[in-house]
Amino acid sequence: MEQIVFIIAMISLGSALVLFIGSILNYGLQGIRRFSKWLTVLFLVYVVTYAIYLSFQFV
């Protein structure tokens, strides 16, 4: 279970980073505003799933 949560966390972090870098390279700083909802959702998914993963480590 904890490996699945960790994989989801890393995929969401990687997706957020790829979207962030790609939007800057393609659209400049206005690209961040264009994809801000997606970036926020992906980063929040990362934070929540990584917190769940860390909670499994202390159980």
Cα 17 from Cα 13, distance rounded (Å): 6
At 14, is the pLDDT very low, low, confident or very high (cuts 50, 70, 90)? very high
Any idea where the domains of the chain sit in the sequence? 2-53
Is residue 59 scored above 80 in pLDDT?
no
Question: Looking at this protein, which amino acid is placed at residue 56?
Answer: F
Cα 55 from Cα 22, distance rounded (Å): 32
Q: How many percent of the chain have pLDDT more than 90?
A: 83
pLDDT, one tens digit per residue, over 33-57 is 999 999 999 999 999 999 999 999 9
